[in-house]
Structure 1
Amino acid sequence: MATTNIWQQFRALIPEGVRVVATITANNGNGTSQAELRDGSMITAKGESVSAGEKVFIQDGEIKGTAPSLALYEVEV
């Protein structure tokens, strides 16, 4: 049965979980990879499909795919 609640319909459009962009620093050989976030912190993510030095999307601790290498600009307002 489809819901008529507009808030529930809106929430269904938003993907669940947190997505971050990171740079792979090493593949661990056990199904995980080391990744460096933009703030310099290191995390371990599931997956080894991307080689070291490439940017990736990580969602809920799992590598979802490669990310484009775009320039990062910080503006203070």
Structure 2
Amino acid sequence: MLRNPYKILRDLMPDPPLQVGTVVSITSGVAAVQLPGGGLVQARGDTTVGTRVFVRDGLIEGTAPDLTVVLIDV
């Protein structure tokens, strides 16, 4: 049986990472989310300014707990 080449290729690619950040602004339903390392990503979703959120692949997945963030360089 022949396997789908596209599925084989997709299986080789990693899933997008789940990131956490703080919403700094919202314009036309798109939120600017500041990541702990200083980066800024744009994400769609229902949220308010100042909220900590989980972001994956340009989408807000939900509200994140307000905990202390620790960055570990590897």
TM-score, with structure 2 as normaliser = 0.69
Q: Equivalent residue of 1:35, what SS? A: strand
Q: Which of the residues 56, 60, 63 maps onto 2:57?
A: 60
CA distance in structure 2 between the partners assigned to 1:41 and 1:75 by the alignment = 16
Unaligned runs of 5+ residues in structure 1 are 1-15
Identity over aligned residues, as a percent?
A: 31
Q: Is the 8 A contact 2:25 2:31 kept in 1?
A: yes
Q: 1:18 corresponds to which residue?
A: 17
1:30-68 deviation per Cα after TM superposition (whole angstroms, max 9, x unaligned):
221111001111111112x11111100001110011000
> Which runs of 4 or more aligned residues in structure 1 lie more than 3 Å from their structure 2 counterparts after TM superposition?
73-76
Q: Equivalent residue of 2:48, what SS? A: coil
Q: Which of the residues 36, 39, 60 maps onto 2:37?
A: 39
In structure 2, the CA distance between the partners of 1:40 and 1:62, relative to structure 1 (3 Å rule), is: same
Unaligned runs of 5+ residues in structure 2 are 1-14
In structure 2, the CA distance between the partners of 1:61 and 1:71, relative to structure 1 (3 Å rule), is: same
Q: CA RMSD in A?
A: 2.2
